[in-house]
Structure 1
Amino acid sequence: MTALAERLLARGRPLAILGIAGAQGSGKSTLAQAVRDRIGARGVPCALLSIDDLYLTRAERETLAARVHPLLRTRGVPGTHDVALGRRIIDTLARGEATALPRFDKSADDRMPPERWTSAPAGTRLLILEGWCVGARPQADAALAPPVNALEAQEDRDGRWRAHVNAALAGDYRAFFARIDAVAFLAAPDFGVVERWRGEQEDGLRARGGAGVMNPAQIARFIQHYERLTRHMLADMPGRADLTIRLRADRSVAAISPLPSPSGI
């Protein structure tokens, strides 16, 4: 992964953007932090942005839920991020300027106030953008018709929610993800392991005394919001990611598959 970042930096552009994608609990944040620390230790100004920190505020999602579909109240799927804010951050960094980076408090389910945001330094050369849906492409319209789980079958009977998510991917998110220079994909062995991985994340939060920790029933419902796109990415991303890291159920690495890049990375 560090080698991929170094190849991007070797292009000599003012700002290189490395995307890291993968299902919940796959280790994206840990990997992103390791790459940032290793590149930063060599004196290269780096910044790390999670797409989770771009979530719309709770009030904005309440408005979206009332206007479009109640399921959009729940953070996570495309359509629940402030993509315009993400693009402004990239534009600012590309100009060589310092910029504030938003933070989202998952325990409060809301964006932190600006005084608690972090910052990216002036002259940042590498931005690492990590998140579960980073680089995702929309599905074909025909694929949206059959529900993939009970949540879709019972709470999105007419398909409005999943159609809105898909349209967001085809619109603002496509332009946002197009700014990424290379994508690394952490491929779970299957979707079935995601519930266990998410449960382990919640156990960690519980051990640290975090607020808003979900119980097993809440986790099972929550991950259904992500199931459709996670399954789609597991099928689609390995064929086009610049680097695919296939994981076992214990998150150990089963295989690494670099793809030749037409852009010459």
Structure 2
Amino acid sequence: MSDPVELLIAAERLPADYAEVVEMHWKPLATRIARAAANRKPLIVGINGAQGTGKSTLCKFLEVLLKQRGLRAMTLALDDLYLTQAERLQLAAEVHPLFETRGVPGTHAVAMGFSIIEAVLAGREFEIPHFDKSCDDRSNDVTRVSGPVDVLLFEGWCIGAVPEKASALARPINLLEAEEDPEWTWRTLVNHWLGEDYKQLFGLIDLLVMLKVDSFDSVLANRRLQEQKLADLNPIGPGLMDEEALVRFISHYERLTRHILTEMPDRADILYSIGPDQRPRIGN
């Protein structure tokens, strides 16, 4: 077996019929990206999707498929830009306790993201950091990239998101907000930063792809699967969560995820509806 797509399907432990997903959905997407890159290079492609929609898997296939089209693609995950655990603890102590938990705008090193994308646009060498979720901290490992990159795949759960109306913040969306953010300080700051630093960062995106789940209810189920994969890789990782911790963790994401699901589909350049099997539905 020498076909790069088949090799990747095997390496990712995906069922053999995943080749149909690649053929029907990811190859046409790669072709569209390649055409866009012909007119604008390097091209920054934003890939938005709630937890468990397959963003990282998609990016791996796009790297392979774009290489077959003569383009060098690299992936930058928003998750890898998380602040270190020490930085989040400081933010929690000085600003609001909920910022200890990674995820929402305000818990990323946005300046690092700017630096990487600026290096890509300038054709300079750069380093991609890595965040170890099993330890809930940034890893010491980095990926060094030299030479020009034709396409940067910038993926993350809130990539391309825009702020809510301030009036929507007053009413808590779940118990976490009601009990731990009663004066809406935390969610107001999240919304503020989304309209400031993150707006500028996401403004560098040339093409926005959205992997849309049906509802927020799908997120918890998908996140459980992710947590099990983390446990399989590192059973004693201190960052692993039990069910209670997982539900609380996901509550941090709920408000913005619901907002994205409502607001983004009408403006995304490319939209895929993701089914319960974590695959694009026929008809995308």
For Structure 1 versus Structure 2, the TM-score category normalised by the shorter chain is over 0.9
Residue 254 (str. 1) matches residue 281 (str. 2)? yes
What's the counterpart of residue 214 of structure 1?
A: 241
What's the counterpart of residue 131 of structure 2?
A: 104
1:256 is displaced (CA, Å) by 5.4
Residue 36 (str. 1) matches residue 63 (str. 2)? yes
Describe the superposition over 1:34-66 as per-residue Cα deviations: whole angstroms up to 9, x where unpaired: 111211234422211000000111111111111
- Cα distance in 1, alignment partners of residues 166 and 76 from structure 2: 31
Moved over 6 A (4+): none
What's the counterpart of residue 5 of structure 2?
A: none
**In 1, are the aligned partners of 2:125 and 2:147 still within 8 Å (CA)?**
yes
AA aligned opposite 1:151: L
**In 2, are the aligned partners of 1:15 and 1:124 still within 8 Å (CA)?**
yes
1:153 is displaced (CA, Å) by 0.5
1:207 is displaced (CA, Å) by 2.5
What's the counterpart of residue 101 of structure 2?
A: 74
Equivalent of residue 6 in structure 1, options 34, 46, 52? 34
**In 2, are the aligned partners of 1:93 and 1:122 still within 8 Å (CA)?**
no
AA aligned opposite 1:223: I
* Residues 21-170 of structure 1 mapped to structure 2, 5 A cutoff: 21-113=48-140, 116-170=141-195
Whichever structure has more helix as a proportion of its residues is 2
Residue 205 (str. 1) matches residue 244 (str. 2)? no
Equivalent of residue 189 in structure 1, options 186, 191, 214? 214
1:24 is displaced (CA, Å) by 0.6
- Cα distance in 2, alignment partners of residues 188 and 54 from structure 1: 24
Residues 216/165 of structure 1: CA separation in 2 closer, same or farther (3 Å cut): same
1:7 is displaced (CA, Å) by 2.4
1:80 is displaced (CA, Å) by 0.5
- Cα distance in 2, alignment partners of residues 253 and 41 from structure 1: 22
- Cα distance in 2, alignment partners of residues 60 and 175 from structure 1: 22
Describe the superposition over 1:54-110 as per-residue Cα deviations: whole angstroms up to 9, x where unpaired: 011111111111111000010000010011111111111111112111111112211
AA aligned opposite 1:93: V
Gapped runs of 5+ residues in structure 1? 258-265
**In 2, are the aligned partners of 1:137 and 1:169 still within 8 Å (CA)?**
yes
1:146 is displaced (CA, Å) by 0.5
SS of the residue corresponding to residue 75 of structure 1 reads: coil
Gapped runs of 5+ residues in structure 2? 1-28
- Cα distance in 1, alignment partners of residues 283 and 97 from structure 2: 40
**Alignment length, in residue pairs?**
254
- Normalising by structure 2, what TM-score? 0.86
AA aligned opposite 2:127: A
AA aligned opposite 2:79: D
What's the counterpart of residue 262 of structure 1?
A: none
Describe the superposition over 1:189-230 as per-residue Cα deviations: whole angstroms up to 9, x where unpaired: 110111110001111222233423211111111100000000
AA aligned opposite 1:134: I
Give RMSD over aligned pairs.
1.3
AA aligned opposite 2:209: A
Residues 157/108 of structure 1: CA separation in 2 closer, same or farther (3 Å cut): same
